[in-house]
Chains A and B, each alone.
Chain A
Amino acid sequence: MAEPVIETEGLTKSYGKRRGIVDVSLVVRRGEVFGFLGPNGAGKTTTIRTLLDLIRPTGGTARIFGLDSRRDSLEIRRRVGYLPGELALWERMTGAELLAFLGELRGDVDRRSIAELADRLECDLSVRIGSLSHGSKQKIALIQAFMHRPELLILDEPTVGLDPLMQEEFQRLVAEARAEGRTVFLSSHILREVERTCDRVGIIREGRLVAVEDIGDLRARELRVLDLRFARPVPASAFLGLPGIQEVEAQGDGIRLTVAGPLDAAVKAAARYEVVDLTSHEPALEEIFLRFYGGRDGA
C-alpha cells in the first residue's frame, strides 16, 4: 500500500457553542483521489483549514507527508495546492497579476503551466477579478492550486460555480494528477460529483467522520427515487419485496419508489403496466445519510 499523505488522529476542533469537528481520524494515501463528503456546515472546511494550519486543533494531530501540521506547516504548504472554500480573491487585481504574485511567493512556478491551465479552463486572465462571475473566479482559484504541480491538492468545494463543460475539464485535471501519482483531497456536498471523481469517500456529518468507503461500495448502495406515472392506478403491492426496493408510495395513478443499487427489478416490474412517465432522481444528501448512517449521532 502506498504511504499515507494525510493522516489525522482524533482531530478535534471545538468552538464553544458553534459546532467544529470531533475526533476525525482518517488516512489518505499517495496517488489517491479522496472525497470528503458532507452537507454544508458538517465540518469539511474546518477539517481542511486545520490541515493547513489556518486554525489550530483543540485535540488530536494531523500529519501531512509525515510532517506535523503545526510545526512543519511551511514545508507542507510548499508542497500543497489549496483551493479555499469560501473563495475571496484580491478583487482589484487581474487574474494574471494575482497568479504572478502567488507565483512569486511560491517561487517555483512555471509560467507555461499557468498559461496552459488558463487555456484549458478558458479563463481570461487580463480582466479585473472584481468584474468576473463566480465561476470565472473559481477558475482562477483552480489555476493557483494546480500551477506549481503540487504533490497534494486540497480542494474545498472545487466545482462550485463551474459550468458542466468546465466540471469535465476539472475532472480531467484531477485524473491527470492521479495518473502522475499525485494525491487529491476534495470536499463536496454533492454525491454525484464525488462519485465521478474519487476513489474513496469519507463521509462527515455534524462534525464526525461517520464512514470511509470505496466508491464502488457506495455506488452499490446508491439510492434512487423513481417517480412512475401509469395510465391506470397500479397497486403498491406490485413492487413490494422486490430486490433493492426500500420504499413504495402510491398516490393516484403514480408510484414513488426508493431503490438502492441497480434499478433492474423495479423497471421490469413497472414494464408490466402501461407507463406514461418515468423520472429518476437522487435523494438529498441528508436523506441518504439518515438512511445509511443513522440518526443524529451517526450511530
Chain B
Amino acid sequence: MARELPLRRTPLALRSIGGKVFHDQRRSLPWWLGGIAALVLSYASFWPSVRESGERFNEFVERAPGWIRDLIGSPDFATPEGYIRSELFALTLPILLLVYGIGLGARAIAGEEERGSLDLLLSTPVRRRRVVVERFAALAGGLLLLSATAWAAILVLGPPFDLRLDPGGVAATCLLASLLGLALGSVALAVGAASGRRTLAAGVAAAAALLSFLVHTFGSSVGWLRPLRWASPFHSYAAHDPLLEAFHPLDAAVLAGIALVALAVAVVAFDRRDVGVG
C-alpha cells in the first residue's frame, strides 16, 4: 500500500491556471497589501499638520510657473480631497499598480516561457488562449485587490486623523487606478505573448506608461500635445477627479478597452507562434 500524499486536497488556488498566479504570489502579495496600507497610514498621519500650512502652500503653488504646476499636478493641500489626490492618487498609487501590473503581465507568458516551464503547462489539455485569458483575469483580480486595499485603508485609517473622504469618490478613483494598471499590464502581457521576451514586454509597457504620463502632464500647456491626450491611458485616469466631480464612465471604458484590445492581441499572437525552450 502506498503511503499517503502530503496534500490531502488540492488547494483552491491550484485548481486553475489563474489561481496559480496567486499561489505563486502567496509570499509577495501580503507585502504589497501591507505596504499600501502602511503608505496610506503614513499619509493620513501627516494630514493634521499639512492642513495647518496648506493655505500658505497653495499660495506658493499659484505663483509657480505653469509647467511646474503641470508636473506637480496643481496640488491643493487645504482640503482632504486635494491632499489625498496629490499625495496618493496623482503618482504614488498609479506607479505602484503599474509596477505590479506590468511585472505580472510580462511574467504571465514570457516570464514562464523564459524559465522553460511553459512546456509543461501546455502539454496538458488546455488551450493556449485559456492560459492567456486566465492570466489576464488574475492580473485584473490582483490589481483590484490592491486598489480595494487602498480604498479600505483610506476609509478606515483616514478618519482617526480627520481625513474624511467620500467612499464613492475614493472607490471610483481606485477603480480607475486599477484599470490604468490593467491597461498597461495587458500591453506587457501582449508584447510578452507575441515575443516570448519578458524584459522586452516590461520595457515596452513601462515606456508606454512614461510616455502616456508625459503626454497627459504637458498636454494641458503644450499645444501640439493636446490632441494626443485622448490616446494617453494616464489621461483617462487623471483627466477627471471623481473626488471632486462626477465619475466619468467613459474614462473607465477607454482603459478597459485598451486592456481588452491588448488581450485580444495576446491571444491571437500567442496562438500562432512557436513556444521557445528555456
Contact = CB atoms under 8 A, between A and B. Distances in A.
Interface residues of A, number: 41
B124 A125 contact: no
Interface stretch (A30-38, A49-57, A222-230, A261-269): A49-57
Contacts of B123: 52, 54, 77, 80, 82, 84
A86 B119 CA distance: 9
A64 to B, nearest CB: 13
Interface in A99-124: 100-106, 111-112, 114-116, 118-119
Contacts of B7: 94, 96-97, 100, 125
Closest 5 CB pairs of A and B: A88-B116, A126-B6, A115-B2, A55-B274, A82-B123
Contact of B124 (A56, A77, A97, A126): A77
B275 to A, nearest CB: 5
A47 B15 CA distance: 31
B278 A86 contact: yes
B16 interface: yes
A211 to B, nearest CB: 26
Contact of B119 (A54, A94, A97): A54
The majority secondary structure among interface residues of chain B is loop
A193 to B, nearest CB: 22
A17 B126 CA distance: 32
Interface string B1-25: 0111111001100111100100110
Tell me which of B116, B123, B126 has the highest count of chain A C-beta atoms within 10 A of its own C-beta. B123
A105 B127 CA distance: 11
A117 B277 CA distance: 27
Given A49-B275, A54-B123, A94-B6, 11 more contacts: A80-B123, A86-B116, A89-B117, A92-B24, A97-B23, A100-B14, A102-B120, A104-B16, A105-B17, A119-B3, A125-B7
Nearest to A77: B125
Interface in B68-127: 115-117, 119-127
B277 A45 contact: yes
Nearest to A119: B2
A112 B3 CA distance: 9
A106 B6 contact: no
Given A93-B23, A96-B5, A101-B14, A54 B122 contact: yes
B254 to A, nearest CB: 35
A77 B121 CA distance: 11
Interface residues on B, range: 20 to 34
25 contacts: A49-B119, A54-B122, A54-B123, A74-B126, A74-B127, A77-B123, A77-B124, A77-B125, A80-B123, A84-B116, A86-B116, A89-B120, A94-B6, A94-B7, A96-B7, A100-B14, A101-B20, A103-B10, A104-B10, A112-B2, A115-B2, A115-B3, A115-B5, A118-B2, A118-B3
Contacts, number: 98
A115 B10 contact: no
Interface of B: 2-7, 10-11, 14-17, 20, 23-24, 115-117, 119-127, 274-275, 277-278
A292 interface: no
A88 B5 contact: no
Nearest to B24: A92
Contact of A88 (B14, B15, B120, B275): B120
Nearest to B16: A104
Interface string A117-146: 011000001100000000000000100100
A105 B125 contact: yes
Interface string A52-84: 101110000000000000000011011010101
Contacts of B124: 77, 102, 105-106
B184 to A, nearest CB: 26
A144 to B, nearest CB: 7
Given A45-B277, A101-B20, A104-B14, A144 B120 contact: yes
Given A77-B123, A78-B125, A88 B3 contact: no
Contacts of B277: 45, 49, 86
A273 interface: no
A19 to B, nearest CB: 14
Contacts of A104: 10, 14-16
